[in-house]
Amino acid sequence: MRCSATVLTTVLLLAAPARALDVRVTDVRAASATLQTTIELRDLIPDRFKQVIDDGGVLHVRVQTELWESRPVWDRLVYPAIIRMFRLAHAAAGREIALIDADGLSVPVAGRGGPDVPVIVDIGDRARVTADSRYYVHVIATVGTLAEREVDEAGDAVFGRPTEANGLGSLGRLVFRTALQVSGYLQSVSAETKSRRLLGRDIIH
């Protein structure tokens, strides 16, 4: 009986889902003249990328935020998508992991399963929000491993080094690099969410 219980426990542990990136919208408000949203990121280090961080590597985090007006037929995008880029890496001192924005400001990350990491995004001028309309925030968060060096090394492996490549190889490198830049990441995990519908008056109150 004890053996059967042990086997069952092992099966359940193996069947447990791996941790994956998660994102949610916790607040949408007008701070002075600017509309802001607060986004919380959870499990920023998915299981598949844990080794990258353990080896001292860097993950890249892309957060795309959009404000939509909810309408009966076609929803309307109120502002162009706001995109913020971050690096996820060990801080300069010690083994602490931090989410670092383009200005070098960092937020500690407790690791997998730790507290959610808040990100505040300025969406735009509150004047575009009307009191009687309904709105929601759409967010796509992506964690990936792409770095400029990785693009170059992958291109070298496929097409040879730039100094060695012929005309066809050079064209191949150009197409390859462009495709990677469009896709954004060599390897990535994404999560997507929408906030609840909110009346404009509740946002700009």
pLDDT in tens, 66-102: 999 999 989 999 988 999 988 888 876 667 888 888 8
Q: Mind listing the pLDDT tens digit for each residue in 32-73? A: 889 999 999 988 888 888 888 888 888 888 899 999 999 998
CATH of the domain at 50: 2.60.40.10
Q: 155 is in which domain, residue-wise?
A: 147-183
Same domain? 101 vs 172: no
E strand spans, 126-186: 134-144
List, in order, residues 6 or more apart from 12 with CB less than 8 Å away. none
Q: Mind listing the pLDDT tens digit for each residue in 102-116? A: 888 888 886 554 568
Residue 88 falls inside a structural domain: yes
Same domain? 57 vs 156: no
What single DSSP character describes residue 74?
S
Residue 7 falls inside a structural domain: no
Same domain? 117 vs 156: no
Same domain? 174 vs 111: no
Same domain? 104 vs 58: yes
Same domain? 43 vs 140: yes
Of 84, 85, 48, 55, the closest CA to residue 187 belongs to 48
Same domain? 86 vs 29: yes
Of 116, 112, 131, 115, the closest CA to residue 49 belongs to 112
Residue 3 falls inside a structural domain: no
CA distance 156 to 175: 13
